[in-house]
Chain A
Amino acid sequence: MTYLATFHWGWLLASLLLGLAMGWIAVVHRGQSVSKVTVRWLAGLAAALVAAALAHVLPGRPGYWLDLGLIMFALYLTGCAAGSWLRDRALSRHRG
C-alpha cells in the first residue's frame, strides 16, 4: 500500500481533489440523486471489489488496475466527504 501510494501520489492527489470539488458542488447541486436501493447495490459492488482485491482474485495487470482503482476511488470518496462537510459549514456560517 505504501509503495502504491508513493509510486502514484500524483494520481491519488488528483482523485482527492476531484472528490473535494465534487463534494463541494454536491451540497447545493439540484441534480438527480441516486436512489437508496441503488446506493446499496453500489456499496455492495464496492465491497465485493475490495474483497476481490484483498483476496488477490484477479491476476497480474488486472489485479494491479483494480488495486489502483480502489485506492483512487477511496480517496475520491474521502475528498467528497471532506468537500461536502466544508461546504455545509461554510453555508451554515453564512446563514447564521
Chain B
Amino acid sequence: MSAIPWGETKLVQGNEAVALGALAAGIDFFAGYPITPSTEVAEILAREMPLIGKKWIQMEDEIASISAIIGGSLAGGRSMTATSGPGFSLMQEGLGYACMTEVPLVLVNVMRGGPSTGLPTQVAQGDVMQARWGTHGDHPAIVLAPSDVKECFDLTITAFNLAEEFRTPVILMPDEVIGHMREKLTFPKEEEVCITPPSSPDVPLEWYEHYHTSATGVSPMAHFGSGYRFHVTGLTHDTHGFPTRKVDEVISKMNRLKQKITRRLDILENNMLHEVEESKIVIFCYGSVYRSALAAQKILAKQRKKVGIFRPVTIWPFPDRTVKEMLDSKDVILVPELNQGQIIHEVERLTSDSVRVVPLHRYDGYEITPEQLVAAVLEVI
C-alpha cells in the first residue's frame, strides 16, 4: 500500500506534494503544530502515517514539535516538521540545537506575510534571512526554495537526503503560493527515487566518537538504543559529545560546523539559469517569483528584448562563486522579492559598483506579476 501514485500524473497541491515527498523519502516520524498555510502537510501525514505504522504526533506548540523531532531523529527515525512564520520563529531554539548537535531533520516553512501574525493566508518571502541567521550564534544553514509542485515533491526528498549527508537540519521553504497552488505532477517510478540511507558507525563500541573528525566534517551517527552509548548536549562539546571550554576543542567544533558546508558547496549548489550568459539584464529570483519571471521573459522576447533569469534553488548556502562569475559583468540585475529586500544584499555584496542592482519589492500579500516584471525591465533598459 502506498499513498504515492508512483509513475502516474495527477493534479497535486504543493503542500500535498511535500507530504508525499516525505513519504517517498521514508519518513518515520512527524511532529507538528497547526499553522496556516502549512497545515495540509501535517493533515495528510496524520492520515497516511498510521496506515503504514509510522509515528505522527501533534505537539503542544512549535517548540515542542521541533524538540520532538530532534529526539526522534537521535533515536533513529527520519524526522520532519512543518510550520509557517510565527511557528518558524518559535522553532529557532530547536533549530540551533539541531545545528549544534548535528542532528539530521527536515523543517518545512511555508512562508506567509509577516512580521508577527502578519498575513496568515497570503504570500511573502520574508523569512529568507531568518532561515539563514534566525537562531543565535554562528551556524550552518541549508535552505531549499521550490518553485513548482514537482519541486515540492523532489526537493523534500532532497532535503531528507542532504540532512543525512550533512548531519544537519535542512529547511524547505516554499512560499504560500507554491504551497497552495495545484498543478500537474508526474510522479517518478518508485525505483527512480534515490534515498540516502541513515548512516551508522562500523567501529567497535568503545571507539565510537559521536562527532568524529572526518575529511568531510561529517561522521556516521549512531542512534539511541543501538548499543553505542553517547552524550548529546547543546553546550559546546568535544568529539565525544561532552561539554568543553578548551580553546582548541571549541575552535575545532566551530570550524567543523562551518566547513562541513563550505567544503562541499558543489553538492549543495543548485541554480536554474535561463539565457543568463547572453543577456545584459538578468532577473535574480526564487520561489513563486521565478514563475512570473519565466512569463515575463516570454513577453519581453516577443518585443525582441532579451532578459536572463538566475534562480537559486538552494538559497543557503548562497551561490557566491557562480553569482560573481556570471553576474558581475551584467548591466542590470533586477531582484524581485516578496519582501522589503533580503536576498538583494547578497547580490549587491558579490557584484561591482558598475553593475546596477535594482530591487522590486512587493509585501502586500500578493504575488509579483509578469506585467510588473516586464514594466520593471523596460524601465531599466
A and B assemble together: no
Residues of A within 8 A of B (CB): none
